[in-house]
Structures are given as structure tokens and as C-alpha cells.
Amino acid sequence: MIDPKTAWAPYTPSAENPWDLRKAGHLFRRAAFGATATELQDAVAAGHEKTLDRIINGNPESADFTATSDFMASERSMPAGTETNRLAAWWLDRMLKTAHPLREKLSLFWHNHFATSNSKVLNARYMLGQYRPIHQHSLGSFRELLIAMGTDPAMLIWLDTTQSVKGKPNENYARELMELFSLGVGHYTETDIREAAKAFTGYEIKDGKGILNESQHDTSKKRVFGQSGNFQGQDIARLCLAQSACPRFLVRKLFAFFISEAEMPSEELLEPLSQFYREVEFDTGKLVSRMLRSNLFFSPNVYRARIKSPVEFAAGIVRGLDGRVGALPLAESLAELGQVLFAPPSVKGWDGGPAWLNAQTLLFRNNLALALTSTEDTRFSTRCDPAALLARHARRSDAEIVDFLLDLFVQGDVPDASRTKLLDYLARAKQTNYPAYWAENDVVQHRMRAVTHLVLTLPEFELC
Amino acid sequence: MLRLCLLAFALLTFTCPIRAAEPPDPLRLLPESSQLILKIEKPRQLAEAVVSLDVLATAQQIPQVRAVLESGNASRALQMLAYFERELGAKWPELLDRIAGGGIALGASLGDNEPALLVLQGTDANESQQAFELLVKVVEEELTRAGIPIKPEKRAYKGSTTVKLGDITAAQVGTVILVSNKPEPVHSALDKLKSGKLAGGALTNKSVRDARQRLPQNPLAWLCVDLATLKQSQASKDFFDATRKDFLQTIVVGSSIDCVRRSDYIAAGLFLEKTGFRLAVRLPAGRSEFPPEFALHVPPEGKMGSLPLLEPAGVVYSQSFYLDVAFMWQNREKLLNEETRTGLEEFEKQVSKILPGSVKVGDLIESWGPYHRLVVLNQEKLPYNTEPGQRLPGFGYVASMRDPKFARGLEAALRSGGVIGSLQYAMKYKQETFDGIKIVGYRFAEGKPVDLDPDDYRYNFEPCFCVVDDYFVLASSFEVARKLIPEVRRTAKLPGTPAVWKAKAYGEGGAELLTTVADPLITETILSEGIGLDEARQQVKYLAKYVRQLGTIRIELDERDTEYRLDVVWELKK
């Protein structure tokens, strides 16, 4: 039973509830895209406060990271007609290499919140343009982010605002602004939407930027949420932000993203956070910091209470194995798993949760894990080799190998029976007759790769 | 005395050079009815020719290639090779000679699940046996390792032993190794081997014999596809009918398909030449039996097939071909189906609306010459101050003219187009004289976004045209036109060739192009390999260097009286 009074108080390690590998792993899964063995070990050694500071504040990006990412995002490298897979790969590359994974993770959250797809926008420049404010404000002001979305070229096309002109307002953006971006169903009326839609007339794209064309804008007085005025788009965003439902709506979504999607949190549980979000003027960084540092975040109730999205699943393997794989083949694989970045399926984003898993996507997840770990798939080759990782960490005996992998990927959080089965597999594999031309080292490495694949197919690894 | 005689005989026997008997031809063991025959005459020579290529060695340094070679499967394949060498006590070229020195032949019937037989004709029975047994053992071990429940089954067949492994049946007898997807071809080959006959099988197939004779001497490998039976199928008939009725296909590949239609086989061979490799394709059908309307593809008797290729500085790709558009226009009633004719008439009406009153579409086409040349080349400078979103190479088209009115008509038409362009895209007229030739063109206005071109590709182009003697030149930029003018004049003095279609791709130009359009390639490299910018830049530089080494690839199509010849020639850079 969660006690709302203590849920959001800062977690303090104790003998009964220590800071350990499980909690470090939990933090890296939720607030990053998994961790390497070294990161996990360092986190346990550094203690929870330092680790949380490191995760929340991040490290400065390296010059190579910035130069590489900026180069790829240039117009010459990614012109407007760039395929969505390439765009997705660009972002995945950032997720895999960033020194501040939480910022990218929040960017992913906001991308799903303001779900915009290149399948309709058909302009990679606009999609990259939308990523910029999302990334910039991901841990900053939601207020500014919401206002920025109102004139974002990709959003203007996605929700048909460019077709909304004086006398013929299009209600799409006004509706989604209230229903999906700020308030949720039940906190606005159809009249509010109709009136707000007039405020979003006359927006168009000029020289790649969203601007207001006064001549097409409805300058009449509008009445929204009981207030009247000659509102423009940003005014409607501010009116939404002023509604008490707004912080509650956002906190609930962030709760599902960071804490648990397994249960519906009570209003009472969320209220302290909603109040806090308003007090800090929608500073998402402060809100997320409070959530991640809380008792509830580190409580057993929310442990593995989310299903990994395909991005979390794939990036978790690559980061865990200290791999250096190409993001393009990875992005192509993610399409099979049901998640194409920059192309969410609808304005509501990805359903997430249990919808990520079905017989087919589970099979594809297993296949991807095999492709990444076998070194036999030329898309990834030896760039993500478990045998090399185990050699670097000097794990040689069967027990060392199994324990290292279980610690790395599931923090030992599996039933004894699973561990025994993995050890049995390694023992059986030793009895297998390998082709005579295989060198002894080939056999050893093959066993290591195969058992890594088995670990990645454990049900526990599907959970975040 | 007797002892001396015996000693002399023994010395003669062991010291005189005796020519070892040539191994029998593996084609004898393939079914006579095989529709596809592939033979590698000298496997060792072919393998060594490929392996010794400098470009292959250099390719292994390309990170993308290296990644493939380092992958589990590739490295295991190399290990397996090393294992065979170790177990059989010789390096692979020597092993290849012993196991398949008499040639490798594949015969198959075309279609799903049709039988196919692979024959390796060796020179050393002992070696063939060891290799075969080792291969069966390795495959068995691989299957066991992979947990596939298939075991090799040894079966007796008329005193011989075959090995069945899933759907595959194999056998080794003497110096011969047989592998098939069905038991019957192996059994049949075993029967032939037992009979001791050195003839028969695919050797008696007339198409195979003819195909081999039609190809030049000493191929590394050659192929024959027996079309006689294939053409009997309804699907083949439908294909030829559909192609004949399709306007575009008739224009592009009509004559080639007609030659295939009339041929009983296709012969192709791979040859090692002093400067590289040649792939020669031959069909026993030529222009002499073309229907009259196919005159659009081939010149009249005594006329050259195509003009020399244009090879200006920075050339990436060049093409020259014969296509008599005027003939097609004059014979459109016979050549085109009703639907296409109607479409063409509609097109004529629409184009006439924008043409100046003095220009008629029909006159324009009828004065268009039959010799066409295309060229793609690198540009030294961008035509505008504004950088295009992506740099593209320049290109040009040069047409021969039957009558100067072609140039006058087309010039008028292009000027009309230019006027429309200047209204829609704010294009500006530009004119300059180069080497006594007036070049006329249009430039896009800078700083004015065009919705249809958000990536600013238009800043690669300033479309222009000029007339050089009897040729009309259309170019993507003034720089291209300036490069083409002397090239058109130079090639006008050279003789043409009988080939009616030829093209050439240039490694040097390709490398330069890679350097010019490096950004997307660098990005592709980063995203494919997960590396950083500096490393990716180095890799793309390396790739450009590699492409430069590739030399040129030339394709020539010569439709002779009774023979169709297609040659692909790879000339390696010295």
C-alpha cells in the first residue's frame, strides 16, 4: 500500500532498504537507456545521491558527439526528403552515445506526448526542427515547450493548422492541445475548442518557420475557459497552463512513464506532485528530479512495473554490451518491434505498456537480441560482442559468466531456477560436438554469446 | 643385355615427359535435358584470378567489408577452409586442382523444385574421397551443433554409395563428386560413370555445343541457358507478347527481346584479359531478321552503330546509342498500339500549345537525328552563390541533327519553356559565347524559396543549350556546356563503332563524385557503423580512393546480322 504522505519524500538508504545493484539498475532503466557493467558498479560504489545527481544533471556532451550529431543533422546530410528511418537512426545514435541519457529519455517522452509523424509531415527538416525545442525544454519549462509547439512547422502541418484561416478555422490543434497536450478529456467544452480554434487561424510556414499571418488571422474576441479576449495561439496555451487540470494531467503521464504503468495512481497520491509542478512553474527537470529521488520510485511496488519500449529494449542491450553498433540497422529493426521514432502511429502516440508485446513482437525482440549478440549478423557483426565484453571483465567460469550477465541485464533479479537453467545450458553446451574446424576459443565464445542471448530472452529483461 | 634393355625402358618410362591424360568433361554427367548449364573450366585459374586482384585486397581494408569478413559466419568459413587445407595437406589452389581440376559443372532445369546436379571433376581419386568424407563430416557436425535433427544416411545404389542429407543427395566415385537436390540426377550420373562412357549427357545437347562455340576461346567460366524449351511455355509467350505491345519496352529493350525471342539459347562467358575481365553474352540471332519497324534500333547497312563516347574532364558516366525517334514517329501507326498513339497525339496537342506558332512537334521530331549521347560529370564550381541542399553532378545530352531546323525548333521551344519558368520560378535569361558557340540558358533567382524544391536542388542547375556543328547540346549548367563543346568537336573527328548502344562508368570520376557528395555518405557511414565524425570522414576518403582504383566498366551492345553481342568489360586501373 502506497502512503501518499511518504511516497514523495526523498529515498534514504537503510539496512532494510539499501542502495544496491537492483536500485541502480532500476534507475538506469527508467531514467536512461540501461547501463554498462562499469556504470552499474560505479553507481553502487558512489551511493544513491551522487548517482542521482549524475543521472539528473548529466555530463557535458563530448566535442565528437556534438560535432557528429550536428553534422548529420545538417541540411546537406539530411535534406527535407530524408527517409524516416534515417531520422530515427540519427536520434537512436544520440540515445546510444549521449552523456545525458535522461534528457534524451525525456525527449522521447515529449515526442510521444506531442506525437507528430513524418508520415504526414513529409519533411525531415521540420521533424528535426521539432526535436530541437523538445530536447531543449525536455528537462526545462513545459510552459515554453507548449507555446513553442503552437508555431512548430511540423505540428502546423501534422494537425492542419496551416489550413486554418479566418472564417474557416480548423479545430484539430485546439482539440489536441486540450485533450492530449495539456488537460485531458473532461476539462474543456466543445465551445472552448471552437473558440480556441479561431485563435489558431492564420498560422503558416515561411522560410522554415511558423509565423502568424495577420491577414488570415481571426482577430475577433474569443471566449475560452470563461475568459474573453482577442486571443492568439500562445494565449490559448497560457490559458490551458492556468487550468488546475494541466499539472495533474502531465504528472499522471510522467508517473506512468517513470514510475509505474501497472496501476492507476490515486488523485491523492499525485496531488503533491501536481502542486509542486505548478509551484516550480512547470519546470519538468525539478519535477522529474523529485520523482526519481522519491521513496516511491525506489519502492518494491513500482519495481519492474513497466514494459520496455522497443527503444529501451534495443538500446539497453547495446549499452549493456558496451557495443558500438550502427543506429540505422537498429532503427530498421525497431520498426518490426513497433516503434519508429519520428513516426508514432497517431496523434495519441504509442499505446505502450502491454501493447508492446505480442507473439510477433516477442519473436522479433528475440531475433534482434540474437542478431546483436551472435556476431553472425553482418548488420552488427562484432560491434556488440558479449564474448569480448566478458573477456574485458575477465569472466571465465560458467558461474562467473552467468552471474555477470544476470547482474548486468536484470541485476540478478531472476528466480534461482532461471540461473540454474542458464548454467545447465552452458554445461550442456560443453558436451556438444562442435565442428572439428572450430578452434577451442570459438567454442568458448559461442557459448558466451549464446548464453547472453538466453539472458536477453528472459521475461524479466522485457520489464523496465 | 636383357638387364640393360629393361633399365633403358625403365629410364625412358620415368624420364620422358608424358602428358597426363586430360580428365573427362563433367558435362557428360549432366542430364542432356538441362536447361541451364554452368561450367567453370579451370576453377583454380578463376579463383586465383579473382583472389589476386589488387582491388579485392584493397577492398578488405574498407571497414564495411572488414566488418563482413570479421563477422562470425565469414570468419568461420575461412576457418573451415584452413581446416580442409590442414586435413588434406595442401593449400586451397592445389586442393582445387585435385578435387575440381577437371572442371565444375552445374546443370539444372528451370522452375521451382526442379532437379539440379553439381559435378566436380577432380584429378586425384584419393583426394576426392578424402575431401568428400571430410565435407560430410563437417556438415554433420554443423547440423548437430545447430541442433538440426538431420543425419547423413548412407544408401547403396548399384554398387555405389550415396549420402542423403535432408533433401540433398551426394556421392563420390573415383575423381567425381556429385551433389543434387534430388536422388535421380545422382543415380543417373552414377550409371553413366559405371558405363565408362566419356560422351553423352549435356555434351550431346546441341544448344550447349553451339553456345560454347559461339563464345570466344578460353573462358574462365561459361553459361548456357537453353531457351528452346523455355519458350514453349505460355508464360514465355505472354512475356514476349506483352513486351512487344509495350511502347516503352519496345523503345528501350525491343531489339534485345526480339533477339532472345528468336534464339534457342543464351551463351555467356567470363574471360580474363590483359587489362581486366570481360563478360561476353551471345545470342544466335541478329538484326537480319528484325521486323522492318525495328529500324528504329539499328542503323541502315553501312552506317555506324553509335558515335564515340563523350569523355570530358570529370566524367562519371558516358553513354552513346542509336535510336531513330524520327522513324518511330513516321511509323507510329504500325509501331504503336492505339492507346499509346492516342496518348502521343494528346501530348502533341499539349506541347503545341506552348510551342511558338512556327514550330510543329512532328517537324521537330523528324529532324531529330538518330545518334544520342549522354554524359554525367563532376562540376568544378557551383553555378550559384547559394549552396544546394545536396550537390548533384552535372549532365549533358547531345543529339545529332538531321536538319538544322531541329536546333531552331528546339531553341524556340526551350525559350518558350524559359519564359514560363521565369514567370513561375523567377528564372533569368543568360547568354554567353564560348569558343565561338553561343550558349543560351536560364538561371534560378536566389533567395526565393520554391515550395516544390524545399532542399534547393535547383541551385545545381542553370539549364542551357547550344549548337555545335551538326549537334544539339543540352546541358545542366554553363560549365557543362563549356566542357562539352570541345568534346563534341573532338569526337566528331573520330570514327563511330558498330555497337548500337554503349556506356562507360569511370572509377576516377566516381571517386571525385563521392568526394563532392560526401556528406550524406559520411552520415550513412556513421549511422551504419556507430562511429564518430572523424572516423567516418576517413572511411569515406578511403572508399573514394578505392573507387578510383576500380578503373572503368564498359558495356557494349552490338547487334550484328546473325548474332547479338553484349560485352561488359572491366578494365582495371594500372
3 state SS of B126: helix
- Among B76, B138, B455, select the one facing A79 at the smallest CB separation: B455
Average pLDDT of span B209-220: 94
pLDDT tens digit sequence for B278-307: 999 999 999 888 887 788 888 988 899 999
pLDDT value at B423 more than 80:
no
Average pLDDT of span B61-87: 85
For B261, list phi and psi in degrees, rounded to 5. Answer: -60, -35
Average pLDDT of span A357-372: 97
**Separation CA A282–CA A250 (nearest Å):** 10
Residue with cell 484539430: A172
Average pLDDT of span B48-57: 87
Residue B16 pLDDT grade (very low, low, confident, very high; cuts 50, 70, 90): very low
CA distance B308 to chain A (A): 36
CA distance A448 to chain B (A): 13
Residue B3 pLDDT grade (very low, low, confident, very high; cuts 50, 70, 90): very low
CA distance B448 to chain A (A): 9
pLDDT tens digit sequence for A174-189: 999 999 999 999 999 9
Mean of per-residue pLDDT scores for chain A: 96
Cell numbers linked to B494: 573520330
Q: How many CB atoms are located within 10 Å of the residue A301 CB?
A: 13
SS3 of B36-66: EEEEECCHHHHHHHHHCCHHHHHHCCCHHHH
Give the ipTM.
0.92
CA distance B244 to chain A (A): 37
Q: Do B80 and A435 touch (CB under 8 A)?
A: yes
Q: How many CB atoms are located within 10 Å of the residue B303 CB?
A: 12
**Separation CA A88–CA A105 (nearest Å):** 14
In this prediction the pTM is 0.84
CA distances from B106 to B38, B219, B374, B525 (A): 5, 16, 40, 39
What does R_g of chain A's alpha carbons equal in angstroms? 24
pLDDT value at B336 more than 80:
no
Which chain A residues touch B82 with a CB distance below 8 Å? 437
CA distance A380 to chain B (A): 8
pLDDT of residue B235: 83
Q: Do A71 and B72 touch (CB under 8 A)?
A: no
Q: Do A77 and B523 touch (CB under 8 A)?
A: yes
DSSP, res B152: -
pLDDT tens digit sequence for B191-203: 999 998 888 899 9
pLDDT of residue B402: 92
Among positive and negative, which fits the CA dihedral B227, B230, B232, B235?
Answer: negative
3 state SS of B392: coil
Q: In this predicted model, which residue has the larger pLDDT, B145 or A299?
A: A299
pLDDT of residue B12: 36
Inter-chain CB pairs, A–B, below 8 Å: 119
pLDDT tens digit sequence for B545-556: 999 999 999 999
Q: How many CB atoms are located within 10 Å of the residue A212 CB?
A: 17
pLDDT value at B4 more than 50:
no
Average pLDDT of span A143-148: 98
pLDDT value at B350 more than 90:
no
pLDDT value at B21 more than 80:
no
CA distances from A130 to A138, A199, A250, A270, B502 (A): 12, 21, 20, 29, 49
* Strand B368-377 to B394-401 pairing: antiparallel
Query: Which residue of A lies nearest to B138 if distances are taken between CA atoms?
Result: A435
Cell numbers linked to A157: 502541418
**Separation CA B36–CA A108 (nearest Å):** 55
pLDDT tens digit sequence for B139-180: 888 888 888 888 899 999 998 999 999 999 999 999 999 999
pLDDT of residue A103: 98
pLDDT value at A325 more than 70:
yes
pLDDT value at B508 more than 90:
yes
Asked if B442 and B427 count as a contact pair (C-beta separation under 8 A), the reply is yes
Q: Do A77 and B519 touch (CB under 8 A)?
A: yes
pLDDT of residue A1: 64
pLDDT of residue B14: 38
Most distant CA pair in chain B: distance in Å?
112
Asked if A117 and A153 count as a contact pair (C-beta separation under 8 A), the reply is no
Most distant CA pair in chain A: distance in Å?
85
DSSP, res B159: T
SS3 of B333-352: HHHCCHHHHHHHHHHHHHHH
Average pLDDT of span B230-250: 79
SS3 of chain A: CCCHHHHCCECCCCCCCCCCHHHHHHHHHHHCCCCCHHHHHHHHHHCHHHHHHHHHHCCCCCHHHHHHHHHHCCCCCCCCCCCHHHHHHHHHHHHHHCCCHHHHHHHHHHHHHCCCCHHHHCCHHHHHHHHHHHHHHCCCEHHHHHHHHCCCHHHHHHCCHHHCECCECCCHHHHHHHHHHHCCCCCCCHHHHHHHHHHCCCEEEECCEEEECHHHCCCCCEEECCEEECCCHHHHHHHHHHCCHHHHHHHHHHHHHHCCCCCCCCHHHHHHHHHHHHHCCCEHHHHHHHHHCECCCCCHHHCCCCECCHHHHHHHHHHHCCCCCCHHHHHHHHHHHCCCCCCCCCCCCCCCHHHHCCHHHHHHHHHHHHHHHHCCCCCCCCCCCHHHHHHHCCCCCHHHHHHHHHHHHHCCCCCHHHHHHHHHHHHHHHHCCCCCCCCHHHHHHHHHHHHHHHHHCCHHHHEC
- Among A81, A329, A436, select the one facing B138 at the smallest CB separation: A436
Cell numbers linked to B292: 522492318
pLDDT value at A339 more than 50:
yes
- Among B70, B141, B531, select the one facing A436 at the smallest CB separation: B141
Average pLDDT of span A418-422: 97
Average pLDDT of span B438-459: 87
Average pLDDT of span B217-233: 90
Residue among A426, A428, A382 at smallest CA distance from A406: A426
Mean of per-residue pLDDT scores for chain B: 88
pLDDT tens digit sequence for A22-64: 999 999 999 999 999 999 999 999 999 999 999 999 999 999 9
Average pLDDT of span B451-471: 90
pLDDT value at B401 more than 90:
yes
Residue among B35, B85, B106 at smallest CA distance from B266: B35
Q: Do B76 and A381 touch (CB under 8 A)?
A: no
CA distance A459 to chain B (A): 24
**Separation CA A365–CA A368 (nearest Å):** 5
Question: What single letter denotes the amino acid at residue A65?
Answer: F
pLDDT value at B67 more than 80:
no
Percent of chain A's residues with pLDDT above 70: 100
Percent of chain A's residues with pLDDT above 90: 91
Q: Which helix (H) or strand (E) holds B221?
A: strand B221-226
Q: Do B519 and A325 touch (CB under 8 A)?
A: no
Q: Do B71 and A382 touch (CB under 8 A)?
A: yes
pLDDT value at B236 more than 80:
yes
3 state SS of B117: strand
Q: In this predicted model, which residue has the larger pLDDT, B2 or A134?
A: A134
Which chain B residues touch A317 with a CB distance below 8 Å? none
pLDDT of residue B471: 96
pLDDT value at B11 more than 70:
no
Asked if A113 and A137 count as a contact pair (C-beta separation under 8 A), the reply is no
pLDDT tens digit sequence for A78-114: 989 899 999 999 999 999 999 999 999 999 999 999 9
Which chain B residues touch A76 with a CB distance below 8 Å? 387, 389-391, 519-520
Residue among B523, B514, B456 at smallest CA distance from A87: B523
pLDDT value at B18 more than 50:
no
pLDDT tens digit sequence for A227-273: 999 999 999 999 999 999 999 999 999 999 999 998 889 999 999 99
Residue among A313, A303, A410 at smallest CA distance from A352: A313
**Separation CA A240–CA A181 (nearest Å):** 9
pLDDT of residue B8: 40
Mutate to test the interface with A, among B68, B69, B71 (most CBs of A within 10 A): B71
Q: In this predicted model, which residue has the larger pLDDT, A91 or B248?
A: A91
Question: What single letter denotes the amino acid at residue B280?
Answer: A
Q: Do B82 and A437 touch (CB under 8 A)?
A: yes
Asked if A364 and A337 count as a contact pair (C-beta separation under 8 A), the reply is yes
pLDDT value at A315 more than 90:
yes
Residue among A112, A30, A65, A24 at smallest CA distance from A306: A30
- Among B83, B391, B527, select the one facing A327 at the smallest CB separation: B527
Among the residue ranges A367-371, B108-112, B416-420, B464-468, the one predicted with the least confidence is B416-420
Residue with cell 545536396: B390
Cell numbers linked to B359: 514550330
Q: Do B71 and A376 touch (CB under 8 A)?
A: yes
